[in-house]
Amino acid sequence: MHSTSLIPRETFFGNPDKAMVRLSPNGKHLTYVAPKNGVLNIWLKPLNGKKADTCITHDKGRGITNYAWAYDNEHILYVQDKDGDENWRLFSINIKTGSIKTHVDQKNVQVTFIHSSEKHPKKFLIGINNRTPNYHDIYLLDLSKNSLLKVYENNEYIGFMADDDLNLQLVMKMDQEGRTNWYKRDADKWKPFISFSHEDSSNTGPVLLSKDGKSVYMKDSRESNLAKLVLMNLETKETKEIIAPQKAEARIMFHTQEKTPVWYSEDYLKPHRVLLDSRYKKDFEVLEKARKGFPSVISSDQKDKIWIVAYVTDTEPVHYYVYDRMTQAMTHLFSNRKALESVPLQPMHPIEIKARDGLKLVSYLTLPEGCTVDGRNAVPTVLLVHGGPEARDSWGYDALHQWLANRGYAVLSVNYRGSSGFGKKFVSAGDGEWSEKMHDDLIDAVNWLKTQKIAAPQKIAIMGGSYGGYATLVGLTMTPDVFACGVNIVGVSNLITLYKSLPPYWKPVIDMFKIKLGGDPYSEKGRAVLMKKSPINYVQNIIKPLLIGHGANDPRVKQAESDQIVEAMKKNKIPVTYALYPNEGHGFVRPENRLSFYALAEKFLSDNLGGRYQKTTEAEKKSALQIREAAEG
């Protein structure tokens, strides 16, 4: 059954070799993040190939996970938080001098990016919540002066759209009914522009101002399920339909200078591209013939002559190329994980599973070596539940799928109702359905696995992070006979304490959470509903092993969510293993911590499902892991 050797966890979950590839606006340099002394930093690569790649930042902590070029081609801006607290600090580096400047670095303060423009290459419009934690005031950052100027004191809005002169033109707030309300600038005031219902708001709203600033491209699902792309005149509100996707929400690419849509992709079972501009026909003919996988343009120069193309497939790492549109020449750069190029990976099968009420659930199945879809040999299986819940699983290389398949498990990921990407009706079908119809979808998927004789019925685990962690707890408390064990990563145990502990900058959208969760914790009726949906109230039902992992600085799902269910299990004399990482947040970013937790999970699954496992390595033992509670055995 297992002729394939164990692929080391480091290959899946260690730092990538290279990732987050970006072109400078003038196309003369590219940047990427790669490890320096085990920490992800930004590296600079001249495209002419005359100089060696250079590491230009020197972080020694959690690494750099997000950055952007300034239009002056000299500066790169990047953000970092402190051990996962998501209070993003802002820095810039001058690629010529190597000088790093700190722009925003205050305790309990978060920076958000609003807009930048080729017309003002050294300026950025940003939001900072340093005056009040609930709202971000708008500031103009000028790199030439190293200055910050407050341009708008904000006490009510949570969404912003600016023109290329870096002036705010549209702002947004939500009301108590979950409606999204957009306002348009009218001299020094804001006047109502357009409003969307709660259901429409999941996939409707402005996307980009037109080049002349007179219109706005907008996703619009008011008269459809999937959002159309329309061009709306800001004065008359007349609209022109541009795109009407058929199977899934459109992901749209705009021309860098013309600001017109040039192609879009729909990702239902697998991604599919539709060209809107004939100038790109030959380009994609070249790209699609070049190698296996779906070619995705992830960065371009400002003149749209040079692209960085990433090839996505299920059985290979991501490969990056430089593509010159003028000559149609392609240059292979690297893959994100070279070690994956020489190991056997298993295909990911896109499938549709029908829920009990007829809803179609787009799902992805990966099987271990020697296992076939026809069900001739049922195997231990992991149901892997995505977070969000307004997110989705997609086809392509997935580290968790490949790791688990290599250990001998079938792996199924399900886009349960409430997931994004499949239209507003699919999203709103999850409203108020936490632990109910959303969980029914997962149980229906498990029953499908059994019916197809893919999963060994007594050896099915449930595993997930955030909402997926909540689903794991629901699985073990409310359907205790279905799963053999569960792995909960930063999961919610109590919907009332979750609601009351959300970050302050989420407070302006708090009414939306009432609709999503199905109850108001400040009303007697609402509390009863939320208590019914909270796994903490069914701890006594847990009869299967549970592993919990959490980051102590998680601002979204506080550590208290795991603390309280562990305490409740201890009081009920129910064994549990609880792993806490004091220097992490909503997930595990530091590679040593990520590897450490998955080593625990691998041994846990092996003990309960019978799959293979790799012994803990010396590097994994150097993590910040604290075992707060250990089950016997």
Q: Which of 111, 22, 130 is nearest to 75 (CA)?
A: 22
**What's the CA gap between 463 and 459, in Å, rounded?**
13
Whether the CB-CB separation of 492 and 385 falls below 8 Å is answered with: no
Whether the CB-CB separation of 103 and 109 falls below 8 Å is answered with: no
* Structure-block tokens of residue 138: 């708008």
Phi, psi for 88 (deg, rounded to 5):
-75, 125
Query: ∠168-189-126 over CA atoms, to 5°?
Result: 25
Catalytic residue status for 466? yes
* Structure-block tokens of residue 362: 């787009």
Whether the CB-CB separation of 18 and 320 falls below 8 Å is answered with: yes
**What's the CA gap between 237 and 214, in Å, rounded?**
10
Catalytic residue status for 562? no
Catalytic residue status for 120? no
**What's the CA gap between 428 and 200, in Å, rounded?**
9
- Long-range CB contacts (within 8 A, 24+) of 432-436: 432/515, 432/516, 432/517, 432/518, 432/519, 432/529, 433/518, 434/470, 434/474, 434/495, 434/516, 434/517, 434/518, 434/533, 435/474, 435/478, 435/532, 435/533, 435/534, 435/535, 436/533
- Residue 561 gets which letter from DSSP? H
The catalytically annotated residue of 554, 562, 596, 623 is 554
Q: Which of 277, 254, 256, 170 is nearest to 213 (CA)?
A: 170
Q: Quick check: bond before 206 cis, omega within 30?
A: no
Bridge-based pairing state of the strands 215-220 and 67-69:
unpaired
- Over the range 590-618, which residues count as b (16 or more CB within 10 Å of their CB) and which as e? bbbbbbbbbbbbbebbbebbebbbbebee
The catalytically annotated residue of 221, 299, 586, 596 is 586
The two counts, helices (H) then strands (E), for the chain are 12, 36
Give all strands of the β-sheet with 67-69 in edge-to-edge order.
67-69, 75-80, 89-94, 100-104
Phi, psi for 209 (deg, rounded to 5):
-75, 145
Strand, coil or helix: what is 224? coil
Q: Which of 401, 384, 382, 378 is nearest to 455 (CA)?
A: 378
Query: ∠25-113-136 over CA atoms, to 5°?
Result: 160
**What's the CA gap between 264 and 545, in Å, rounded?**
45
Whether the CB-CB separation of 229 and 219 falls below 8 Å is answered with: yes
Please count the CA atoms within 13 angstroms of the CA of 79 that sit on its side-chain side. 19
Bridge-based pairing state of the strands 360-366 and 348-354:
antiparallel
- Residue linked to tokens 């899946």: 12
**What's the CA gap between 355 and 359, in Å, rounded?**
5
**What's the CA gap between 534 and 499, in Å, rounded?**
12
The catalytically annotated residue of 215, 413, 466, 534 is 466
State the catalytic residues: 466, 554, 586
